[in-house]
Structure 1
Amino acid sequence: MERDLVLLGVLRQGAMHGYRIAEIVEQELGQAVELKRSTTYYLLERLAKEGYLRRNRVTAGKRPARWVYELTENGTKRFFDLLRQNLEAPGPIHFLGDAGLAFVDALDRSEAAALLERRLAALQEDLEAMRPTKPAAGPRDLLSTHKVSFLEEEIAWIESVIRRLEMESRARPSKPRLAS
């Protein structure tokens, strides 16, 4: 649903070909949604079949013909329905890396802490790269500030987990593991 929202939202700017749509998604909305080009084209086709988009074959000069997509009236209605649903209700929360945390007991506490230190360094690099030199305007600023806030909280949480693992490592000696 979120990917449909993004594609319909991009097409509110006007009719455009699939390559341009994919480019806008990657460059401007990559923080909001992960969408590969092949998936973008597949979804555009599906949205057209469902009647949310109109598709026209356009030839420009000597270039090969390309499909140009534009919103239909139903597509505009669908966009606003999806937008309202998205803003109103939170989706399920899944964090990348949580699967490893579920099995952290399989490692020595000191090893787990060292691995999380590396993760922490990568998160700190991401945070520094995200901090804008000048604030973006409008909704794009919301995407940036949301990700910065998330990274700051994630960094603080990882730091607390590392401290906990280090304290546990000092409190009890490591147990031999069956496999490594």
Structure 2
Amino acid sequence: MGNTKSGAVSKELLQDLKISTKFSEAEITQWYENFQKQCPSGRITPAEFEAIYGRFFPESDAKSYAQHVFRSFDTNDDGTLDFREYIVALHMTSSGRMTLKLEWAFSLFDVDKNGYITKSEVCEICQAIFKLIPKEKVDDLPSDENTAEKRAEKLWGYFKKGDNDRVAEGEFIDGIMANADAMRLIQYEPTK
């Protein structure tokens, strides 16, 4: 859906994004202009995305997490992010609605995109999240969260599932919303 290399966002794309994101026309137009400056090809590659993510986590290894985030944003599975995918991702991750953020988090954890999360997928994402934590901050973590494995085990425990069970999106959202610790475990935000 519509990324042209011209300087203006198409009317069709603008209308679609206004409806699906609730961003204003002015906001979308401004983001489009900035996107075109930063990505003249109209697409963000995985390597470019990893570089952007690396700037947010300069003291960490953000590569594997960035790869998972990229996968969750690349909704048409073409290996790049176009403007539409970029804006929808921005909306999902920055909107005030917790359920929207958790829907995105579910897509992040659903590595194989089959509509369910398994314990092994939770372990894989927790490994990537753990790499975002600077080594000097790991010592400050609670003893039941100071490794990626312990973090994954604790998070999986909130869903009350066996090792071979799986979690659907609704269960994931309910399980995270029911426990502040679970919410903290699915992310890492660097201290400023």
Smaller-chain TM-score bracket = under 0.3
Larger Rg belongs to: 1
The higher relative CO (CA closer than 8 Å, separation ≥ 6) is in 1
Normalized per residue, the structure richer in helix is 1
